[in-house]
Amino acid sequence: MVSKEVIVKSATGLHARPATLLVKKASSFKSDISIEFDGKKANVKSLIGVLSLGVTKNANVNVVASGDDEALALEEIVKLLNSLEE
């Protein structure tokens, strides 16, 4: 299992469009990937789960990946989160 803290820089946080991009990317990996925010945890492969966290701009989230391709999955998810600028 690997994890990394990321600050969400997207102006809308993880709402509709950025959350959809995140779910699509996560679904391309075999590993279980979750995101933790404000004491809550959601499966990144679930759009409803990601949206239910209510992640806002400048929120500090923890991305956790566990499985066969966990290192690559974590790297790609973090890269996507960092690319979601204003």
Distance CA 68, CA 13 (A): 29
Distance CA 18, CA 68 (A): 25
| pLDDT exceeds cutoff 90 at 80 | yes
Distance CA 71, CA 75 (A): 6
pLDDT at 84: 87
15 is catalytic: yes
Q: Provide the 10 A C-beta neighbour count for residue 83.
A: 11
- Domains in the chain, CATH or no CATH each: 2-83 (3.30.1340.10)
Q: Of 2, 4, 9, 15, which one is the catalytic site residue?
A: 15
pLDDT at 86: 59
Q: Could you say which DSSP state residue 80 is in?
A: H
The answer to whether the beta carbons of residues 29 and 69 sit under 8 Å apart is yes
Give the global pTM.
Answer: 0.93
| pLDDT exceeds cutoff 90 at 26 | yes
